Structures are given as C-alpha cells and as structure tokens.
Structure 1
Amino acid sequence: MTSTAFEGFWPQGKTCAAIVSVIFDDGLDAVAQAPDLKGRSKSFSVWQYGVTRGIERLCNAFAHAGISTSWFVPGIVAEKHEQLLRAVVSPHHEIESHGWDFERYDAISAPEAVDLLKRSRERLSAIASNEVSGFRLPAGNWPRHFDRLLVEAGYSWSASLNGDDVPYSHSSSLVEVPVHIELEDRPYFQFNFTPAFPKGQSRIPSYEAVLGNWIAEFDAYRKYGLCYVIQLRPEWTGTPGRIALVEALLAHITSFDDVWLATAADVARWHADKGLAASGDHPINVYEDYVDEERSRER
C-alpha cells in the first residue's frame, strides 16, 4: 500500500480520519471476570475512580482541544449515572450502546440479544442528544450474523471488530468502524492486585512509551490515509498524570489541518452514504466463506 492508496477517500479533501472514543463501563468489565468484586470496596474503587475523577478530567481535555467524541456506555450504567451522562453528552459528545449489562451475546439466544440491544438503545436515547445508532461489543465473541441482529434492533454501525484500518460494510449493510487493541488504554494501564488484573500481573509501562506508541500509530494512519480510533477509559487515563498523555496526543492530532476529526457516527454515516461494499477478499467475507465451507464438509 502506498501513501496515496486512499487519496481522495475522505471528505472535505482530508488525508485521514481520527476518532476519539470513551468506553465507560463503571467496573462492569471487571465484575464480569470477578463477580465478587462488588463486595470488595478497596479493589472495586479502582474502577469507581472513573466516575469520581476520570470523567471530569477527560471532558476538560476534550473541551480544551475543542473536539467531539463518542462514548460507549452500557444501558444499566446509563440508568445509574443519568445526570452525569447528561452533562457529558449534551455539549459536544455522542453516546452509543455498549450493550445492557456487559452480557456476552455469543452465549444468549438471538431473540434475547435483540431484546437487550433494543433496551439499551432506548435507555440511552432518553439521555443522548444524538440518535443512538452505534454499538461496541462489551464481552465475548462476535456471533456469526450478529450484524443482522444489530440492524434488526435499530443500529446502523458498530465499532467492535478489527480486520481493517478503514470502515467497511457487513452484508447486512451494518457499517463497521474497526478498532485495534494497541490504541486502547486498558492493555497498558489496567492493574489490580487482588483479584489480579491482569492475570500474572506486571503492567503499567512508561507513560512516555505509551504516548510514543499512540503518536507513532497516528502518524502512520495519517501517512497511509486510514481511520485512527483511540479508545480511552476514565478510570485508566483520567488520573492526574495520564491525562497529560491524552492532552499531548490531542495536541498532536489537532496540529494537522488535513485530519478529519469526527465522531464514530459521523464516519459511519459518511461511509454508508458512499455505498461501498466490502470486497470478496475482505476478512469479513473470507471468514463467512470459511465457515460455510466448514459446515458443508460436516454435512
């Protein structure tokens, strides 16, 4: 791929796209792995820090940078922190679905999945200033044809899968905005002694190294004309020291006038309007063909 492979691909003559997203689970991700965590106030407070301090610091950083962001929130968290989220999303930020209660959609039936997806969307819509149209998988694997269930439940895009560096469309027309783990904060900063997060311990690298990684990735995405998606969590990058990493990253991104800094919904709508279908050799289609072939062999 050359640096001109996506020339003219983005709107307004921009070279690349950049999305800043926030994942606000309020500890549901940790409780899903260690159910007894709710009864352990010392450990659970590590995740509660996001509400106490982290969200305010992230919002201040976004306001200083003058950007709009995409927040992925479970429905049950929206019920618990409705007033906080109203204050967050009303000025410049969109709120999107992160499921209902951090459920695994690969472990429940299709009707149950659709019901929970609709329930989440309806609850978030009561808070959001935007039309809730996007989804991020909370846990587990992406069930086959899950895109069809999302469309049935009223969603038009997802930011859950990998497989590319630019948006692509599922066969159902659901737009996928790809995300990558190296552009999350949790793999670098999540840490707790008991229960052990991560298992085996040892994490929290040099802050300068993390910022270097994120900037190096952004520079490469810009060079090749791709879609950069940073994923932040208030409990991990909302600390007094780490918020400086967010501020430095945003200062770097906004220093270029050829970057389309947009919300995930903006990017998804733009891609849908272009009507681009994923090619036959795209990973999402290769996977479908592989599963069909394996099932035909089993018959």
Structure 2
Amino acid sequence: MTSIASEAVWPQGKKCAAIVSVIFADGRDAIAQAPDLRGRNKSFSVWQYGAMRGVERLCNAFADAGVSASWFVPGAVAEKHAPLLRDVVSARHDLDSHGWDFERYDAVQAPEAIELLKRSRETLNAIASNEVSGFRLPTGNWPRHFDRLLLQAGYSWSASLNGDDLPYSHPSSLVEIPVHNELEDRPYFQFNFTPAFPKGQGRIPSYEAVLGNWISEFDAYRKYGLCYVLQLRPEWTGTPGRIALVEALLSHIGSFDDVWLTTAAEVARWHGRNGAAPADHPINVYETYVDEEQAGER
C-alpha cells in the first residue's frame, strides 16, 4: 500500500489541506429522532438558537480569520431561512446540499431519492453564488451505489464517509472528502434533557480539551500531508463562549503558510483530476466484499 504521506501533492506546494464546514440543519436532525419536538418550544429552542444567534457568530469569526467555509444545508431549511443564507453567501461562503428535509436515503427508492436530491440542489442554487455541487448525507446509512444517484442528480462530490484521511473517488468518479467525528462539535457539545440527546446524557467537556483535540488533530494532519475537515453547527459552537474555540483554532491554522485553507468544492475539483481509488482502498474492498456475499447467496 502507498504510504499516506506520499499520496497527496497539494496545489501551490502546500503541505496539507484544511476545510471549514458548517452543518446548518435548523433542528431537522433533532425532529428526525423525536418528531414531537415540533410542538415543544422549550426543547426545540435549543436547536433554533443556531439561526437566531449562531449563524451570525460563525460568520463573524470566519470573516475575522479571512476564511470561506462550506455550508451544508437541507433544501427545506434554505426555503425557510433564505434571507439568512443570502447573508452567508454575501460573506463569501459556499452552499452545498444536506438533503431535502433530513430524510434517510437508505429508506427510499432511487427515483424518490433523485427527486429529493435535485429539489435540494435547485433550491440552494437559487440562493448560492457557487454552483451547488456537493452533498453531505443527512442521516442513515450510505446506500450501495448512492454515488451514482448523486451524479445523476447533478452532484460531483460528497463529504459523508469516513474511510480515509484524503479525498478519493468512488468507482463512478464521484469525489469523496472523508470526515471524522472527532473533528465535529456535536459529539462534544450536543445536550438536551428531554428528549435525552445524547442518550444517557454526559457530554459538554472542558472547552480547552476540545480545542486541544482539534489542534492536535490539525497538527497531525499537517505533519502527514492530509485533508483536515472541521465540522461545526451554529447551535453548538455559535455560543458566546464556544465561538472562542473556533477563533483560536482558525488562528492556529492561519499561522502556517503551507496550509491550503479552502472550500470543500475546491478540494473536490483539485482531486477530480487524480482518477479512481486504488483496488485496495476501503471503498473498493467494500464493493468486492458485497459482490462476493451476493454471489454466495445465489
């Protein structure tokens, strides 16, 4: 297998890539787990905080750092918050798709999936200054051959799977930008009493520890020449105290002149010239495994 450090040669001689992404679901993720939240204002207000305050704070922090971020937004949220998202776009950020309304694509048939994917993309394109080309899976499992459906719906890349530290291409040519839970804010900060998110409670660690994790991961990604993808949510990191973590992290990343700090779409366009993933890549190993399992069942 090719060594990790030698796989990527980043543009302009940069040592690694870094992407700041925002997942703005406006509580659709919570409602998908607990539909009765729609009628429970106290609990649901935890997620509504993102649109009320968090989006603006994140935009201000990004502006101070000179960062353009990739915002993953469901089409239904774009319809509801079009004026707010126009402010996001005017601050030089990209919009990309997070599905239509937090649906599970492993629970719908291909024609319905394509219709939802196209509807989301068209809605976002009406607001965005960029051509919406990217997608992040809202929830559920990645259906087999879902990459083909994304291409049919007009997308060219995804940031949904976890099986690498560098971009790679699905067999269909769809580019995948891997993401990891330790670089999200939600595993650290999501907390609500009723319903219990997370189940069993017990979250909200030391802010300094979270910042330390994110910086340690970045330093390692830079050391090995990888693609660092931070994933933030306005309701969890857009608070008065936690926004300081974002500011400190971006200051640390910006202190290096050998980092390609860019949008996910730019990374996908750069990688698109590199061809398909090798045969021993996890995405191809999985395909081979499924083919063998299905052949054994016949």
TM-score band, normalised by the shorter chain?
A: over 0.9
Specify the code of the residue in structure 2 equivalent to 1:202.
G
1:5 aligns with 6
CA drift of 1:149 comes to 0.1
* Percent identity of paired positions between Structure 1 and Structure 2: 80
User: 1:50 is matched by which residue type in structure 2?
Assistant: G
* Unaligned residue ranges in structure 2 (runs of 5+): none
Does residue 293 of structure 2 align to residue 288 of structure 1? no
State the distance in 1 between where 2:106 and 2:3 align.
38
Is 1:199 the equivalent of 2:224?
no
For residues 51-200 of structure 1, the aligned pairs below 5 Å read 51-200=51-200
Checking the alignment, whether the CA contact within 8 Å between 1:68 and 1:92 is kept in structure 2 is yes
Q: Is the 8 A contact 2:163 2:282 kept in 1?
A: yes
Residues in 1 aligned to 2:58 and 2:108: alpha-carbon distance in whole angstroms: 34
Give the Cα–Cα distance (whole angstroms) in 1 for the partners of residues 281 and 217 of structure 2. 22
CA distance in 2, matches of 1:6, 1:67: 26
Aligned partners of 2:287, 2:258: CA distance in 1, in Å?
A: 36
Contact 1:72–1:97 (CA under 8 A) maintained in structure 2 = yes
Q: Is the 8 A contact 1:2 1:224 kept in 2?
A: no
For 1:89-127, what per-residue CA distance to the aligned partner results, in whole angstroms no more than 9, with x for missing partners?
123100000000100000000000000000000000000
Q: Deviations over 1:52-109 (max 9, x none)?
A: 1101100000000001000000000000000000011123100000000100000000
| Structure 1 residue ranges without an equivalent (≥5) | none
TM-score (normalised: structure 2):
0.98
2:63/2:91 contact within 8 Å kept: no
What does the per-residue CA deviation read over 1:4-41, in whole Å, with 9 as the maximum and x for residues that have no partner?
Answer: 5246x100000000000000000000000000011110
Do residues 37 (structure 1) and 37 (structure 2) align? yes
8 Å Cα contact 1:183-1:230 kept in structure 2: yes
Superposed CA offset, 1:241-297 (max 9, x none):
00000000000000000000010000000000x232100000000000000000000
Q: For the Cα contact (< 8 Å) 2:185–2:233, is it kept in 1?
A: yes
Deviation at 1:2, TM superposition (A): 6.6
Two-structure CA RMSD over aligned residues (Å): 1.0
Is residue 21 from structure 1 mapped to residue 15 from structure 2 by the alignment?
Answer: no
Inter-CA distance 144–2: structure 2 relative to 1 (3 Å threshold): closer
Q: TM-score, normalised by structure 1?
A: 0.98
| Equivalent residues in 2 for 1:226-265, closer than 5 Å | 226-265=226-265
Q: Name the CA distance, whole Å, in 1 between partners of 2:211 and 2:4.
A: 23
Distance 2:4 2:155 in 1: 33
Report the equivalent of 2:276.
Answer: 277
Q: Structure 1, residues 127-147: CA drift from partner, whole Å, max 9, x if none?
A: 000000000000100000000
In 1, the alpha carbon distance for the partners of 2:237 and 2:107 equals 31
1:143-183 CA-partner distances (Å, limit 9, x unpaired): 00000000000000000001000000001110000000000
Residue 18 of structure 2 aligns with an amino acid whose one-letter code is: A
8 A contact 1:29–1:102 mirrored in 2: yes
CA distance in 2, matches of 1:3, 1:171: 21
2:6 match: secondary structure: coil
Describe the shift of the 1:4–1:32 C-alpha distance in structure 2 as closer, same or farther (beyond 3 A): closer
**Do the aligned residues in 2 keep the contact of 1:17 with 1:262 (CA within 8 Å)?**
yes
Instruction: Report if aligned partners of 1:6, 1:224 keep a CA contact under 8 Å in 2.
Output: no
Query: Offset at 1:44?
Result: 0.2
Counterpart residue identity of residue 140, structure 1: G
Q: Matched residue pairs, number?
A: 297
